[in-house]
Amino acid sequence: MQKLIIEGGIPLEGTVDVGGAKNAVLPILAATLLAEGEVALSRVPDLRDVNTMLDLLVRLGVEVERTGPGRLKTRVVSEEEHTAPYDLVSRMRASFCVLGPLLGRRGRARVSLPGGCAIGVRPIDLHLKGMGALGARIAVEEGYVEAEGPLGGAEMNLAGPHGPSVTGTANVMMAASLSSGRTVIESAACEPEVQDLAAFLNAMGGRVRGAGTPRLEIEGVSRLSGCTFEVIPDRIEAGTLLAAAAATGGNVLVRGAKAEHMTATIETLREAGARVEAEGGGLRAFGPERVSPVDVTTGPYPGFPTDMQAQMTAVLSTAGGNSVVSERIYPDRFMHVAELNRMGARIHKEGSSAVIHGVEALSGAPVMASDLRASASLVLAGLEARGRTAVHRIYHLDRGYERLEEKLRGLGARIERVEDDGTP
Ligand code: EPU
């Protein structure tokens, strides 16, 4: 295992490039199962989760060839297999996204149920509701979802108690693309990652309309072909880097950040006192001397992303006043709070909110990462803190951030990845 050692208190300065979006590329990779012919993808981030998805694709008969940095080609060479096993789905929930493509293309799927997750209960009922509406026969046996076609078009509403489902919408969109009929999904997720999947399906010859709105229309087609496609930049990585600039009073240009995908994050950083400006196809953030308090509520896109909540909590922990951060997507996604408090933050949980009493400064401490975004939040806290922070269990970070410490070092941060020998 490895840990990050951070000497905090340095304002970040310089230019950094954003990578491809994890949550766009994972369903897109799953969708390559639908293609007849070769798919060439670019801006594919080098992440542990991407490698997990590629392992799964290989088990499902896909040939994967890495053709350069951020580039790969896929081709389905065998369609015999239809099982996504427990070891891969339990490692990464997004593996469940192969259900739709397997069902749509191979007429049959056996996919392990994902099970527990550090950020709270994450059901898959909306995925199954959608597949059921398309006509799939579904059974849950021995921890696996077993589903069988044929699929036809259907009208459905995929709203859940916390809003739409991102990967649920993606799963149904992929299955419906190869069904015989027309599908309408109401209360579809509008996230840029869902839009990117729709663009990818259309590049393969699919007929998806309405992406980015709550009403998706999918005309089933009989075959999808190979294509060439570039994945969108990661709005959460970009937001994390802008937040790092804000937290350290720095001046950072995030090259490639797409402002139109990040409105809520930009507004919140501005409310916190940062200056955020579009510049040369990216975004620049200037941090304030001291962050101002802000109340933040997460919500489905275009609301403030839950995947930025932990990072924003770290930023606001040293604000000149009190902030309230409320979770509407994952009410229990507050594992970072106790660790931030170990660094001198004063945050208490009230139901599904974190009440943050801004402190003058954080102080470095050994802390433990519990999940991907919590890890990022602890790294931000380490960057703004006085003294030395050790972030343990950073394998969580590597699931979704490509060489984050190298990018931060390029901005002047004193941060190092070392083997974790058990010392704090
Ligand atoms: N929900 C249901 N039933 C379902 C599915 C979801 O009730 O069948 C609920 C969830 O419990 C949650 C809400 O609906 O309260 C939204 O969950 P959603 O299904 O949208 O989440 P997801 O598709 O499993 C994706 C991202 C997450 C991100 C969420 C919310 C991927 C691979 N994952 O998950 O990303 O937090 O959307 O935006 O796209 C991350 O990158 O750190 C991460 C966790």
Domain end, chosen from 208, 230, 252, is at 230
| In a domain? residue 144 | yes
Q: Is the pTM higher than 0.85?
A: yes
Q: Do residues 111 and 243 both lie within one domain? A: no
Q: Do residues 367 and 353 both lie within one domain? A: yes
Q: Do residues 347 and 374 both lie within one domain? A: yes
The whole-number pLDDT of residue 422 equals 79
Which ligand 1 atom minimizes the distance to the CA of 97?
A: 32
Q: What is the mean pLDDT of the chain?
A: 96
Q: Do residues 240 and 372 both lie within one domain? A: yes
The Cα–Cα gap between 255 and 240 comes to: 13
Task: Give strand ranges (E) for 366-413.
Answer: 366-368, 388-392
The whole-number pLDDT of residue 116 equals 65
Which ligand 1 atom minimizes the distance to the CA of 191?
A: 38
| In a domain? residue 424 | no
| In a domain? residue 118 | yes
The whole-number pLDDT of residue 118 equals 75
23-64 pLDDT, tens per residue? 999 999 999 999 999 999 999 999 999 999 999 999 999 999
Find out whether the peptide bond into 161 is cis, omega within 30 degrees of 0: no
Protein residue whose Cα sits closest to atom 9 of ligand 1 = 162
| DSSP structure string for 345-383 | -EEEEETTEEEEE--S--B--EEE--SHHHHHHHHHHHH
Domain end, chosen from 207, 230, 253, is at 230
Which ligand 1 atom minimizes the distance to the CA of 331?
A: 15
The Cα–Cα gap between 213 and 61 comes to: 34
Q: Contact, 283 vs 276, CB < 8 A?
A: yes
| In a domain? residue 350 | yes
Cβ of 94 less than 6 Å from ligand 1: yes
Q: Do residues 96 and 209 both lie within one domain? A: yes
The whole-number pLDDT of residue 386 equals 97
Q: Do residues 14 and 29 both lie within one domain? A: no
Indicate the pairing of strand 224-230 with strand 414-419.
unpaired
Domain end, chosen from 212, 230, 248, is at 230
Q: What residue numbers bound the domain in which 40 lies?
A: 22-230
Active site (annotated) includes residue 117: yes
Please give the structure tokens belonging to residue 127. Answer: 């995925």
Q: Do residues 266 and 363 both lie within one domain? A: yes
Count how many domains the chain has: 2
Distance 222 CA to ligand 1 centre (A): 30
Q: Do residues 285 and 404 both lie within one domain? A: yes
Q: Do residues 28 and 54 both lie within one domain? A: yes
Query: In angstroms, how far is the first alpha carbon of the chain from the final one?
Result: 13
| In a domain? residue 110 | yes
Confidence of residue 131 (pLDDT cuts 50, 70, 90): very high
Cβ of 332 less than 6 Å from ligand 1: no
Distance 170 CA to ligand 1 centre (A): 11
Q: Which of 29, 52, 97, 167 to mutate to test the pocket of ligand 1 (most atoms within 8 A of CB)?
A: 167
Residue with tokens 């081709």: 75
| In a domain? residue 385 | yes
Supply the CATH number for residue 168's domain: 3.65.10.10
Q: Do residues 188 and 269 both lie within one domain? A: no
Q: What average pLDDT does this structure show over 307-331?
A: 98
The whole-number pLDDT of residue 121 equals 76
| In a domain? residue 68 | yes
Lowest mean pLDDT among 113-117, 119-123, 163-167, 358-362: 113-117
Protein residue whose Cα sits closest to atom 28 of ligand 1 = 307
The answer to whether the Cα torsion of 373, 376, 378, 381 is positive or negative is negative
The Cα–Cα gap between 238 and 258 comes to: 8
Catalytic residue among 97, 117, 190, 227: 117
Residue with tokens 């343990």: 392
Q: Do residues 324 and 273 both lie within one domain? A: yes
Amino acid at 75: R
| In a domain? residue 238 | yes
Q: Do residues 45 and 149 both lie within one domain? A: yes
